[in-house]
């Protein structure tokens, strides 16, 4: 059985880093890039337009930062899968990302890892198979 590629939106203001991430995921074959955003406002707009399976979001974006963009995306669609990344080692960043609705968190160094595609695939599989929160 052939696996359907995951549709991904990359939100990164550094064009070189965004291109590197795109190249890594493109080589893997399990992802299709549906958009690249260079600021938080564009990430929200492209997410509405393309409904990606995964939004890979830099925490430090111009305009709306990654936290506020994630919050805006989740206000529109609480089920949207957003993975936030940062170069910071501050626990507060993880807590803020979680509170905004991010369903995954990566350190920026992971973006250059040959294991990035596998990590995103596992994060997404865990996300879609999660047990619903009790209400």
Consecutive 10-residue averages of pLDDT for the chain (135 residues): 82 94 91 96 96 95 94 92 86 89 88 87 78 47
**Does the predicted model carry a pTM greater than 0.85?**
yes
Torsion of CA 7, 103, 90, 92, to 10 degrees: 140
Question: What was the pLDDT predicted at 122?
Answer: 84
Full residue range of the structural domain in which residue 47 is found: 6-128
Q: How far apart are CA 131 and CA 45, in angstroms?
A: 29
Reference 47, options 70, 24, 63, 14; nearest CA is 70
Q: How far apart are CA 123 and CA 101, in angstroms?
A: 14
Residue 101 lies in a domain: yes
Residue 93 lies in a domain: yes
Distances (CA, A) of 102 to 10, 26, 46: 14, 23, 17
CATH number of the CATH domain containing 76:
3.40.50.2300
Question: What was the pLDDT predicted at 74?
Answer: 92
Residue 23 lies in a domain: yes
Burial of 45 (0-12, 13-18, 19+ CB in 10 A): middle
């Amino acid at each position: 059985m052939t696996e359907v590629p995951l549709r991904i939106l990359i939100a990164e203001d550094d064009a070189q880093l965004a291109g590197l991430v795109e190249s890594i995921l493109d080589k893997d074959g399990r992802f299709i890039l549906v958009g690249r955003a260079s600021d938080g406002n564009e990430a929200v707009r492209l997410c509405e337009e393309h409904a990606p399976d995964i939004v890979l979001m830099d925490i430090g974006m111009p305009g709306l930062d990654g936290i506020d963009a994630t919050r805006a995306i989740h206000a529109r669609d609480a089920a949207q899968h957003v993975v936030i990344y940062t170069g910071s080692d501050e626990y507060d960043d993880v807590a803020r990302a979680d509170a905004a609705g991010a369903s995954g968190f990566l350190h920026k160094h992971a973006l250059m890892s040959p294991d990035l595609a596998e990590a995103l695939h596992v994060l997404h599989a865990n996300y879609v198979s999660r047990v619903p929160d009790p209400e």
